[in-house]
Amino acid sequence: MEMNLTETEARVLGALIEKDVTTPDYYPLSLNALVNACNQKNNREPVMNLDEDTVREALGGLERHRLAGQAHGADSRVPKFEHRLGEVFNFTRAETAVICVLLLRGPQTPGELRGRTERLFKFEDLSSVQGTLQRLMQREEPLVKPLPKLPGTKEIRYMHLLSGDAEPTDFVASTSPSAAWTGMEANASVDRITQLEDDVRALKSELERLRQEFADFRKQFQ
């Protein structure tokens, strides 16, 4: 299935999936509730400030991909919207949770995914997260891919492919000279802290020596 969701479409789809699982009593979502879900400050990277027209346009794009649309049979005068991810991909709950977090927060390591999917699905261990990622990568049309390791990191990050195969701009930024300089500054801070700790230990030792000399001095006049 050829698909290349925009950043806004990915956010809208991720928000619909999340609310379906975490707040089922308030799902499907009205347009206003969906806008608020997209613009949440927690569990979103980056934080967005979308308006109703932008979200409505994104819903139109998702509907063309058969990934979302207006809910039918909802007992409400206000139109409500739902995702249709299961109809298109037939995901397991674990796969749905991983895709949802990748849509909402961008590339993640398996460790980050395990912690950030807890409200959606509880992975027993890291290997179960990695197994889910493998299944998503081994589909006839892969939906996840690994990214090259960032300098100074050990874990691989994974990105979803619903927005195409291009590496996200945050990966490019993270490997830029400014990011390297940030790392150097962090190392310098650690060095300064270590030096301060050494200075404190030296001062304590000197204070103890002076105390002992003063005690010896007093004994001479007792």
* pLDDT tens digits for range 26-51: 999 999 999 999 999 999 999 999 99
- Answer whether residue 180 shows pLDDT above 70: no
| Residue 190 pLDDT | 43
- pLDDT band for position 54 (50/70/90)? very high
Q: Are 105 and 43 in contact (CB under 8 A)?
A: yes
Whole-Å CA distances, 169 to 49, 159, 174: 19, 12, 9
Question: d(Cα 198, Cα 8) in Å, to the nearest integer?
Answer: 51
- Answer whether residue 175 shows pLDDT above 50: no
- Answer whether residue 17 shows pLDDT above 90: yes
Whether the ω angle into residue 28 lies within 30 degrees of 0, i.e. cis, is: yes
Handedness of CA 90, 20, 33, 101 (dihedral sign): negative
Q: Are 157 and 98 in contact (CB under 8 A)?
A: no
Instruction: For residues 156-168, give the mean pLDDT.
Output: 90
> How far is C-alpha 136 from the chain's CA centre?
18
Q: Are 82 and 69 in contact (CB under 8 A)?
A: yes
What percentage of the chain exceeds 90 in pLDDT?
Answer: 65
CA contacts within 13 A on the Cβ side of 33:
16
Q: Are 16 and 29 in contact (CB under 8 A)?
A: yes
Q: Position of tokens 């949440």?
A: 40
| Residue 210 pLDDT | 72
Instruction: For residues 188-217, give the mean pLDDT.
Output: 63
| Residue 78 pLDDT | 86
| Residue 150 pLDDT | 82
Question: d(Cα 127, Cα 189) in Å, to the nearest integer?
Answer: 35
What digits encode the pLDDT tens for the residues 95-153? Answer: 999 999 999 999 999 999 999 999 999 999 999 999 999 999 999 999 999 999 888 88
| Residue 198 pLDDT | 59
Q: Which of 68-77, 160-169, 212-221 has the lowest mean pLDDT?
A: 212-221
Sheet holding 29-30, edge to edge: 29-30, 80-83, 68-70
| Residue 179 pLDDT | 41
